[in-house]
Structure 1
């Protein structure tokens, strides 16, 4: 230990005594530290124009620099004092700070204090003075040199800085109290209400102006929620943070006094402090009656400007209507929708623009809205364009405002839905076509088998009647069977016509001639209680269609009208012509543009509602009672008209009757003359040989028996292969081939072609119970060969056979 201490002592210097050299080195280090501390402890001078808070901030910053600079000296002072008085652990703490072993620190301290015996006394004097000054008692610091002198001077500077800081804090507090007093003085005399708000929107400040305006004292208002004096404008909601955010414009609100009365007010807000969440200061001014009027006028002008912009730029057609029906204002969209200029529309009325059928209901709704019984209504309505076509609109009608002593104006809004209605009509037409197609497929599927059955029934009934005398007791039963079978056949043909699977066999005819020719029969049909009026056109109206089918159209429409007129009513049938333009054709899906002849059937019966009209042409749909209708009458009319390339429209209203209008394309060709009537004669027969091919045994036996009774030689075959064998084996001539079209193994067309190789002079008649489109698929239609449609009566069969056999050359024959 002694050697270590000696080495430590010897290392303190060579030329000067160890204590003096150590003291000089420590002095230089402390001078360097003090120089830095002195530079950092300088406090910025306080400017008179700076606020107290700013000045306190500058002084506090200076004091902080002084403390940081003196910290090493103070620490050294404490550790040296600890070594001087031998405090436990002092050497270890100093060694830890300096990075030396405790023994080395102790040896250094012993050398230090052993060289300067006066050092301990000086330290005691310095510590005593520091304690006195720390206790607030004046005490002069001893005059010392070296490191202790530096410490004494640092303590003196620290005391001076602390005293300066205390004076500055007192001055800042005095300035704050003065500013607060001045602010409160200003708030006490201003007439506006000044209200402080906490982040939780509770009142923290309530000046005299607020007390005067609201009636609460500051004591009553402070700590209360803001809703106490500023209720929300709707439903008691509190003002939102957005309305109180910094930078917001002033806004209008409603204040509430202590007695519950409310008043208009104008409010502005500013942020208090920099905390988060922020506090706010509200300044509220009560709006006077004149100011309130001015604000209302300004708000009214702004509202009118907004309404005018929305009115003019709306996609909907808009108008304001007076009680007399005239327009006060119309927008551009309405002008474009109806094709009028603004000046032209202002000279018209809303009802004048409506479709005639919609004008009366429109007047009812307008009266109800003006009377207050309803607030608004909306409906689909038709309008008339300036060019004459119809425009569909979705109409909304409501009050536009009340005028003192006068009926309220109405706000009209119309959205153009013409394209949507056209799409709906096309969709309805598609659904109707699909239903027709379904029925057509059903009819085609059962037509062949059903017609074969009916042919057997009607044929056997004919044979029975031929053998029964006129007074035979069973004759009436057989006649009833035959008539029922005929009705069943007619029903099948109606189904095929409705589904447009029956050939038209059209010819040019005068529609007026058809109606005139049917007048007498129609009068007997409808009865004397209904007046029938026919109106012929000024000139012939020619169309190309099937005469029998157009008569069926007239007959079905007249029967439908008769059933809808239970009382003494009036039925009008009128023929005419009309030119359909592209726009009208577009508004009625299925109608073609061009010149059309028209057939109008108008009754004054019970009429129909919209739901009935929507299903009017559906197959099997009827409003008649059980057993009074099949539901196919109008469906057949629809099928015939469509197959003729025409269009049928209906207009009806409950209690006001119904009007059907049939449009058929007009033609310029001459009317074909009607065939001369031939007096009925005996059924023809013959002695020729007929090869008859039919796969249905009952039908084959029936046809064979009818032909044999008429004198013909009949060679029967079940199918095409058997017919070829018979044709090869038969040595005599075969004058006629009577064959079914659709058969197993070989069809009728192929059979004819193969037999024609060996028997070119043989004539041919086809038979079929299938629909025309099915037959056409087998290469029969349009070949110039006769075609019999099942069920065929014996009379038709015998006359067709005789006609074909007697014909000199094969020519296109009309199907029987």
Structure 2
């Protein structure tokens, strides 16, 4: 990027002023000489002008003025520096414009979108927006976990620039702890010193054989007190005699023979290697080794100090030793371990592990990784690494156990979130297309009803078709709710007030067998949500809880407990949730005493059309609607079985509303009053890509007295306008191929700035609003009836353009 030119400045302001002073003095001298004829007075004026000019020049040289130069930063240089980072880096200015980004940023986000408006989950975009505002205010903000394309990243936003006028956005991997770096730090720290005190020499070696880190005893034995061992070839420090014994090259062939061990703790050909050196038993004792220490004791000390789970097994497949980390991962007592590794596992995995141990005990090389299930914790598999052991005394096989339950849980949550997002997009698209079909069905029913009277034989059948179509329309609204594309009317409200409004309805719905208890916490802040939609959330959850409690015994009943409470940001941090961002929330708990939710069903409960009820007794859209409403309101919802008793608890978290949060202003006008007379005159241009919807809308408007021009997409509409007179109203679909509605309207408005616009869409107004930045436009949601279309057209034509 090129920098902008600096403003032009005058180069010699003092010289210009001096010339002006001299000129003025000479003019004055000539004028006086001409008027009074006195040469002395004229000469005095000229001398005064010369003195003034000289003074200006001297002042400029004694006190030079440095011109301020407002130079634009060299963004090409900034981009070159950003390209050196392995992280994704972007820079935005005060106006929120992207002014610089590196290639890693473009690859990560499939282009160069401007943060925080990235192609990621809307909840993550909100977190980025809040962090950006915090960075402008405080100078820096961090987000520990951010989901981007199924991977976890950490975001760092920092205010920078000479005038603090830019934000630097940095996105780096947050996959977890770098095990190699941790081991390197352990070797260099107190753990390495404890190993050295026990005579255990350890080093971390790169795949190319160069030393990354070594503890002090190995450093002293290999090179002495001077120099450094880091970065040097490890093989150069060792020599091998005729019997194959390994010694330090510095100590020569008379030195103590060494036993070299390689411990596998990372997978991959490019992973670093942990090397352990032990003095062979019977060798010459050195000051670095404690008196009386043997290789077996060294090995036991080494295993116990390892920061990852290690166990040793003999040739008969029996445990010799396991460290505390291995015991914790296996859920056993390290001081009283089981006899065989198979005793830890479920029956199905015992044979596979026993065969692998037997193979490595008989000389198999390399190592193998197995996913096994522990006997007492069979729900989550753990990773077991098996490798052959050489030079470890009676130990023949080395086992490494990693409890990856947390990692598996996180992957499952990420996969579930990704699946729910994909299903939501699919549901929104299905609802949009289905609304187009329902518009045609309802419209044809309305036209047929105009030709039939209530006493007609077909009248009741047509009414039944129309009623079923309206039921189908309510299902599409639930799909839009799940996909977070429904129309919301958010307000600032208190959650207890919503519960109070719906309590009487809940008592009637639950019946006499179910007891309702309500408890509100203290210091509850306000939330921003649609009260009607929140009431629907509470009712849906309560009805599901009632059905769970009376499913097997209708007379048994149960208790439904509703509780509201404040959750601080500190409490959220203590929860260590990878899904719930750190912030202040108001929580709503709805707990029942039913049978609970089976573990295999729990991950699917929010999916649309999933239900455990009998055929014909549920659509499977109740909880999916709840999920969509909560997510569209900026909240989170979780379900879990009660730990201290039967039943299930649904917990909804809504962020506490702050006064500084920006309130979105509606951009689509929606007339409220219905006109008394639907008959009209004038020309209407109708743009709709669905043939059946376009046909029914054209017939409906023509019956009301309008002249209707039709086009199948935006470009066809522009061609039609180029060869016809100005219409009185433009009715257009929003989403169309070739050219969408808003793009077409912008081009039409350049020719007819005051032309009224009526948008219609199968998506909800809340979703359509995001893509429309036009004035004097109105909205009609699909599916609509013939009368609703006529009313909307007449209302828009009656609205005076401001």
Bin for the TM-score computed over the shorter chain = 0.3 to 0.5
**TM-score, structure 2 as length reference:** 0.46
Question: Which of the pair has more CA radius of gyration?
Answer: 1
TM superposition score normalised by structure 1: 0.45
Greater share of helix: 1
